[in-house]
């Protein structure tokens, strides 16, 4: 019997921890994504989150430049945008986007009684659409309420290491 490696749908907050300096979950996100990529565990992300990662990354890089220099130059703004594009390209290189359609919105809306957060429910719908083995998030409420197997990054990493 051929065993298939577990697939991981990575939530927005984990990608942000992976890309942005000084976020509390940075080390765990980096350790997980690097390990999963290196050992060829399938990584997935909801296509709809890319805009959020891009926007938050640009804003964060601009804020860092302002804090370091006292103001934001045009060059700093361009660099922040280019770096955010690098984050998007990195996601695309390391993971596969999961699309969405009306059925995902239907699923997300029907999860409201379990978890009253539309954005999180769309992530769950993406995990279901992709038949992901695990949803990886830092959102404790989502881990608790998700109708799919959901783990924090450190727990997901421990699980992946145990499968080798």
Per-residue pLDDT tens over the stretch 17-37: 999 988 999 999 999 999 999
Per-residue model confidence (pLDDT) at position 3:
55
Angle at 27 between CA 21 and CA 29, to 5 degrees: 95
* pLDDT tier, 1 (very low <50, low <70, confident <90, very high otherwise): very low
Nearest to 91 by CA among 21, 43, 25, 150: 43
Q: Is the pLDDT of residue 161 over 80?
A: yes
What pTM was estimated for this model as a whole? Answer: 0.95
Per-residue model confidence (pLDDT) at position 22:
86
CA distances 27 to 2, 56, 94, 146, Å, are 33, 19, 17, 24
The residue-averaged pLDDT of 66-75 equals 96
The residue-averaged pLDDT of 77-94 equals 98
Q: What average pLDDT does the structure give for the chain? A: 96
Q: What is the pLDDT of residues 101-151, one digit of tens each?
A: 999 999 999 999 999 999 999 999 999 999 999 999 999 999 999 999 999
Determine phi and psi for 44, rounding to 5 degrees.
-135, 160
User: Right CATH number for 8-163 from 3.40.50.1010, 3.40.430.10, 3.40.50.720, 3.30.565.60?
Assistant: 3.40.50.1010
Q: Is the pLDDT of residue 10 over 70?
A: yes
Q: What percent of the chain has pLDDT over 70?
A: 98
- Which stretch of DSSP H or E encloses residue 160? helix 153-163
Neighbours of 50 (CB within 10 A): 17
Per-residue model confidence (pLDDT) at position 164:
92
């Amino acid at each position: 019997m051929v065993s298939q490696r577990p697939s991981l749908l990575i939530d927005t907050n984990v990608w942000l921890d992976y890309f942005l300096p000084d976020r509390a979950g940075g080390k765990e996100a980096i350790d997980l994504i690097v390990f999963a990529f290196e050992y060829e565990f399938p990584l997935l992300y909801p296509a709809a989150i890319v805009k959020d990662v891009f926007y938050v990354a640009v804003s964060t890089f601009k804020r860092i430049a302002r804090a370091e220099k006292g103001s934001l130059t045009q060059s700093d703004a361009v660099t922040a945008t280019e770096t955010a594009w690098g984050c998007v390209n990195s996601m695309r290189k390391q993971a596969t986007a999961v699309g969405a359609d009306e059925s995902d919105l239907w699923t997300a809306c029907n999860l409201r009684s379990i978890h009253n957060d539309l954005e999180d429910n769309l992530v769950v719908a993406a995990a279901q659409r992709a038949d992901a083995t695990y949803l990886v998030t830092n959102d404790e409420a989502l881990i608790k309420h998700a109708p799919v197997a959901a783990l924090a990054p450190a727990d997901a990493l421990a699980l992946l290491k145990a499968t080798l």
